[in-house]
Each structure stands twice: as structure tokens, then as C-alpha cells.
A = this chain, B = another copy of it.
Amino acid sequence: MVVDISSGDTELSDDEVDRIFRALADATRRDILRRTLTGEASVSTLAAAYDMSFAAVQKHVAVLEGAGLVTKDPRGRERLVRGEPETIRRAQHLLHQFQAIWESRISRLDALLAEPPTT
């Protein structure tokens, strides 16, 4: 049986994957991502929600943007930040691949137990 795992996604480079997971490895950034998935928000609106400087929040948004988890859309003098569900889906897909590796290990063990010894 052939199982197609690919789901048609463009391949992500190691660096891109690094950036995605690194961006997710910070509670503030995960919270920003949640907010911008719920609805777009300006950088200053976001900044108001956290106990740190505007510039710090700006940097967090930049990290998310660099990972493709968020995009910024100029609207007048502000930049509206939107979460990008597609990138999240890709990260999920990556984790699914790890799961698949584990599953295939089980299959191989099953096969070993099922098959009579070759020698």
C-alpha cells in the first residue's frame, strides 16, 4: 500500500521550519498569534496588551512575520497584523510527519511479529 503523505504543500527549508518553531517557542508570541487569528489588530493595539515596551512587541511581531505566521497590512498610519493559518497548518503537517514515522515503526514491529522468521 502506498500512502501519499505530501498533501501538496510546498517544501519548507530547514531554516523556514526553524523560524516557525522558534517563533512559536515564546508565550508572548503565541498570544499575539492567537489575537491576530481572532481578528486583525494594529501593532500598537497589540503592544497595549503586554507589560513591555512597544519596540519589544514590535520585535515579536517581526519574528512572527519572518516565520510567515503573521502578515502586516498598512492601513493608514497603522499596520494591521493578521495571523496566517496556512503556516500553522504547515507546522501541523510537519508534526504529523513525525507521528507518521512513529506509526510506521509500529507497523514494522507488527510485521516482524506477524512474519515467520526468514532464516
Residue positions of A touching B, CB distance < 8 A: 14, 17-22, 24-27, 30, 33-34, 37-39, 83, 85, 88-89, 91-92, 95-96, 98-99, 101-102, 104-105
Determine if B98 and A88 form an interchain contact, defined as CB atoms under 8 angstroms apart.
Answer: yes
Residue of B27, B88, B102 near A95 (CB, 8 A) is: B88
- Having A18-B27, A21-B22, one finds 8 other A-B pairs with CB under 8 Å, namely A14-B27, A18-B26, A21-B25, A22-B22, A22-B25, A34-B98, A37-B102, A85-B102
Chain copies in complex: 2
State the CA gap A85–B102 with chains docked (Å).
Answer: 7
Question: Could you tell me the distance in whole angstroms from the C-beta of A50 to the nearest C-beta in chain B?
Answer: 14
State the CA gap A74–B82 with chains docked (Å).
Answer: 47
Question: Could you tell me the distance in whole angstroms from the C-beta of A111 to the nearest C-beta in chain B?
Answer: 14
Residue of B26, B38, B98 near A37 (CB, 8 A) is: B98
State the CA gap A24–B27 with chains docked (Å).
Answer: 15
Determine if B18 and A25 form an interchain contact, defined as CB atoms under 8 angstroms apart.
Answer: yes
Question: Could you tell me the distance in whole angstroms from the C-beta of A39 to the nearest C-beta in chain B?
Answer: 7
Interface centre among A26, A30, A85, A98 (most CB of B within 10 A): A98
Name the residue on B nearest A84 (C-beta): B102
